[in-house]
Structure 1
């Protein structure tokens, strides 16, 4: 599972090359920080917030039986 941190430049612009990120991913932006997380093939990805800010990103995997 790949994870990347993307920098937000001084002009508040988010720039990245789509060839450098996973084909199935989520980009979360909070307080000037951006994080990319690859989505699991089976399961869910939860983004937990508190007072309007991202506190935790949690991956829960599973597969059909």
Structure 2
């Protein structure tokens, strides 16, 4: 059986402050870890689908899966 690829998010630095978005997500219960890429984080766990989060809808972050 194949392992699923990890979900990552990429921050849009033109629309949001990266540290603020990460803090907001972590406050909401999203567990993130850094990746070697700038403004990119791996999603370890999330209590809600990030694709329907306000930060995604307004373009502050993009799902990379």
TM-score by length of 1: 0.31
Higher strand share: 1
Q: Which has the larger radius of gyration?
A: 1
Higher helix share: 2
